[in-house]
Chain A
Amino acid sequence: MSALVGIALSLTAAMVVAAVGLTVFRMLTGPGTADRAVALDLLGLLAVSGCALLALGVGTIALLDIGLGLGLVGFVSAIAVAGLMARSPQRLPEPPAPPEPPEEEPRT
């Protein structure tokens, strides 16, 4: 790794860390659950970038595999939170009336 790549790596890592700071700010102050879920989605992407930068800094390609796993987990968690928001009414509807007992067959 040449010195030029090292400098670029440091600058990029600083930018990613600043991005993480902004995203965490939105996650802490976001007025609603939807804002926090969006910030969580972006944090997953930033974690993948961070894993790639760490792999370059340390020189271990295996760290990219961790980025792959983090990308998969981030996708599943975003889908889970979205499903929770989409189908969870706060006030549950009245439970359905119990079914009428079947009419007894006339005994013959």
Chain B
Amino acid sequence: MTDLLAVLFLLAGGFVTLVAALGVARLPDAFLRMHAATKAGVVGSGLILIGVGFAFDDTGTWLRVAVIVLLLLVTTPVSAHALGLGAYLGGARLWGGTTADELAGVLRRHDFDAPAEGEADRRS
């Protein structure tokens, strides 16, 4: 029974992980990519960890799995929020189909990827 559950959770986790990576590779915009990476990524990792817990099925493994899943659930939204703010302030380009930019005029953006002063002269 636990073997069947382990197989189920492992395959579901692998599928969700693959979908997350596909989103990161295919979506058009840093913000949409962050949406795919953090939400689907943490679900996929959590499912794989729970599957490993079912496969071992003893107390030490379940304890470690619980600690790691809780850690991921706590830290991933924070890092996603920080990355989104950093990408917006750093001037990541918005997708052309974006309809609303609530922060336009509220936050000042700069161009993080622009070459620094003096570097452009050296390149040309």
Whether B48 contacts A34 by the Cβ 8 Å rule is no
Q: Which residue of B4, B25, B52, B61 has the most chain A CB atoms within 10 A of its CB atom? A: B52
B24 touches A81 (CB 8 A): no
Task: Contact check, A19 vs B61: say whether CB atoms are below 8 A apart.
Answer: no
- Residue on B with the closest CB to A31? B93
Which of A23, A56, A75 has a CB less than 8 Å from the CB of B24?
A23
Smallest Cβ-Cβ distance to A46: which chain B residue: B17
Q: How far is the CB of B24 from chain A (nearest CB, A)?
A: 5
Residues of B within 8 A of A83 (CB): 82, 86
Given A32-B30, A46-B41, A83-B82, verify A91-B90 contact (CB < 8 Å). Answer: no
Instruction: Establish whether residues B25 and A15, one from each chain, have CB atoms under 8 Å apart when the complex forms.
Output: no
A68 touches B37 (CB 8 A): no
Nearest CB of A to B83, in Å: 5
Q: Which of B31-90 contact A (CB under 8 A)?
A: 33-34, 37-38, 41-42, 44-45, 48-49, 51-52, 55-56, 60-61, 64-65, 67-68, 71-72, 75-76, 78-80, 82-83, 85-87, 89-90
